[in-house]
């Protein structure tokens, strides 16, 4: 039975990748920035690394790697443009399953509007929210630790006096081979429709991420990771070096399909069950971002 399930999931991933023939951001583009200062400092190459409060976003199968209960959050002024971008997530055990939840918000207040004559006509607000419920379980295959995870998600977007909502779903896979981890996700499987109060319909395009991460122990514990986003043809690479049990430094880079590499960097400090992380995310077109996040584990 398990082999049948795994084969079916593999076929879904292959078929979805083949069907993703054209690039497009569609609705929900605000949430493509990513979450968690640790992940962003590593260039957003996190599909095979996610193991805590950010797993619902990066790969719900990563919930199986979480030990104990994880609760965390992130904030940034995205691109330095006054875009208030926040994430709150959690991961915990419930019986034989791992479960999680997350909230992601992007708000822009005081957007100026103009009438047909070019005169200022007041201001409006743009608020985008995403709610996710996640679960994951281990599905060992031939002694190889394999995990399957999924999200149910709800989008809410309001702009001026109009609003739109929609439900979607994600799938995630994670395989562990000693120090090597392989991950893949399908986000917004089949595309998620956002139905607006005006009668218009937007679509959050399906996103496909595949990647791997290798963890070694010499001369210090360190991890190198890579990720390819099939839908946008973007490449992400990153590394984390744990100088001590409390201090980590991280570097990364990301390259869009049509553009140059941009670079990321950051550091983390862990004190008992609390950790705080910071990241610098370069974007020479829109502006750079400074990201701060924190996580409790208990």
Which CATH number belongs to the domain containing residue 276 in this structure?
Answer: 2.40.160.60
Q: Which whole number is the average pLDDT over 47-69?
A: 96
**Residues sharing a CB contact under 8 Å with residue 21, sequence separation 6 or more, in sequence order:** none
Query: For residue 15, what pLDDT band results from cuts at 50, 70 and 90?
Result: very low
Q: Give pLDDT, residue 26.
A: 55
Query: For residue 12, what pLDDT band results from cuts at 50, 70 and 90?
Result: very low
Lowest mean pLDDT: which of 5-9, 116-120, 138-142, 194-198?
Answer: 5-9
Range of 196's domain? 2-297
Task: Count CB neighbours of 85 within 10 A.
Answer: 23
* In the chain, % of residues over pLDDT 70: 91
Overall domain count for the chain = 1
pTM value is 0.89
Query: How many helices and strands (H and E) does the chain possess?
Result: 3, 16
Q: Give pLDDT, residue 142.
A: 75
Q: Is the dihedral of CA 179, 9, 5, 92 positive or negative?
A: positive
* Nearest alpha-carbon partner for 252 in 226, 233, 276: 226
* C-alpha gyration radius of the chain: 19
Q: Give pLDDT, residue 95.
A: 79
Q: Which whole number is the average pLDDT over 33-49?
A: 98
pLDDT at 54 over 90: yes
d(CA 136, CA 114): 48
Tell me the pLDDT tens digit for each residue of 21-32. Answer: 333 345 888 999
Tell me the pLDDT tens digit for each residue of 175-222. Answer: 998 899 999 999 999 999 999 999 999 999 999 999 999 999 888 999
* In the chain, % of residues over pLDDT 90: 77
d(CA 119, CA 192): 37
Tell me the pLDDT tens digit for each residue of 235-271. Answer: 999 999 999 999 999 999 999 998 899 999 999 999 9
* DSSP-assigned letters across all residues of 66-102: --S-EEEEEEEEETTTTEEEEEEEEEEEETTEEEEEE
């Amino acid at each position: 039975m398990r082999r049948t399930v795994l084969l079916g999931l593999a076929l879904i991933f292959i078929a979805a990748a083949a069907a993703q023939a054209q690039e497009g951001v569609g609705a929900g583009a605000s949430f493509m920035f990513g979450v968690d200062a640790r992940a962003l400092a590593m260039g957003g190459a996190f599909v095979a690394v996610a193991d805590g409060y950010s797993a619902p976003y990066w790969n719900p199968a990563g919930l199986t790697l979480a030990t104990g209960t994880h609760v965390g959050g992130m904030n940034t002024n995205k691109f330095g443009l006054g875009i208030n971008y926040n994430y709150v997530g959690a991961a915990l055990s419930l019986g034989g399953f791992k479960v999680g939840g997350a909230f992601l918000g992007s708000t822009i207040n005081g957007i100026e509007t103009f009438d047909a004559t070019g005169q200022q006509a007041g201001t409006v607000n743009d608020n985008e929210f995403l709610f996710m419920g996640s679960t994951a379980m281990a599905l060992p295959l031939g002694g190889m630790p394999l995990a399957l995870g999924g999200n149910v998600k709800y989008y809410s977007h309001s702009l001026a006096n109009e609003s739109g909502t929609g439900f979607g779903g994600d799938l995630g896979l994670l395989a562990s081979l000693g120090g090597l981890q392989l991950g893949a996700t399908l986000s917004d499987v089949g595309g998620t429709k956002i139905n607006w109060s005006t009668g218009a319909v937007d679509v959050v395009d399906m996103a496909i991420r595949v990647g791997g991460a290798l963890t070694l122990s010499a001369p210090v514990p360190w991890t190198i990771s890579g990720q390819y986003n099939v839908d946008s043809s973007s490449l992400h690479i990153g590394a984390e070096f744990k100088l001590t049990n409390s201090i980590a430094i991280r570097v990364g880079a990301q390259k869009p399909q049509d553009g140059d590499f941009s670079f990321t960097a950051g550091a983390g400090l862990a004190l008992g069950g609390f950790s705080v992380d910071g990241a610098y995310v370069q974007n020479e077109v829109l502006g750079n971002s400074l990201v701060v996040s924190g996580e409790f584990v208990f």
